[in-house]
Amino acid sequence: MQISKTLSWLESERLLESTRVGNLRRVVLLADDGSGRAYRHPAAEPAEFRVGYLKLSHDYWLEQWHRSLDLPATAVLLIALSLPDEFRLPQHHGAEWYGISRDTVRRGLHTLQRMGLLSYRKIGKVAPLAPSGMTVDRVYSLTGPLKVK
């Protein structure tokens, strides 16, 4: 009964269409914006319309990473998957850029590194106001089975 109510609600929101086929119900997905248009996989859309779309490796589920990674590591993994292959993730920008605390970014980065899923290299850059005249940035890269190409 609950499944039927849920399907009816999704249909009223124009997120799917359903028809009876004998004792079964045929369900067709519609666009997730509620427009009633046919659903198209994000990869089939032009690049400019794929904003906010990322791929998560099947290994995430098959190798039980959803059980092994804590919430900070999962949050940072999802952020990393939305960024280029090499990326900077300053901990102090976590709240402003992603809505998570500096400490959550720090713990997530640390866990992913410890589990062999993230590596980094240091890049020095000139910073005239720093005591030594230089600062060091970390440029991160996903490694291992969760890196999606």
Q: In this predicted model, what pLDDT tens digit does every residue of 4-37 receive, in sequence order?
A: 888 889 999 999 999 989 998 899 999 888 999 9
Tell me: pLDDT of 53 over 70.
Answer: no
Q: What is the pTM of this model?
A: 0.68
Tokens of 7: 């399907």
Confidence of residue 145 (pLDDT cuts 50, 70, 90): confident
Task: Specify the pLDDT at position 50.
Answer: 63
Tell me: pLDDT of 149 over 80.
Answer: no
Which distant-in-sequence residues (6+ apart) come within 8 Å of 28 by Cβ?
16, 17, 18, 38, 39
∠ at Cα 74 (70, 80), nearest 5°? Answer: 150
Beta bridge partners of 29: 16
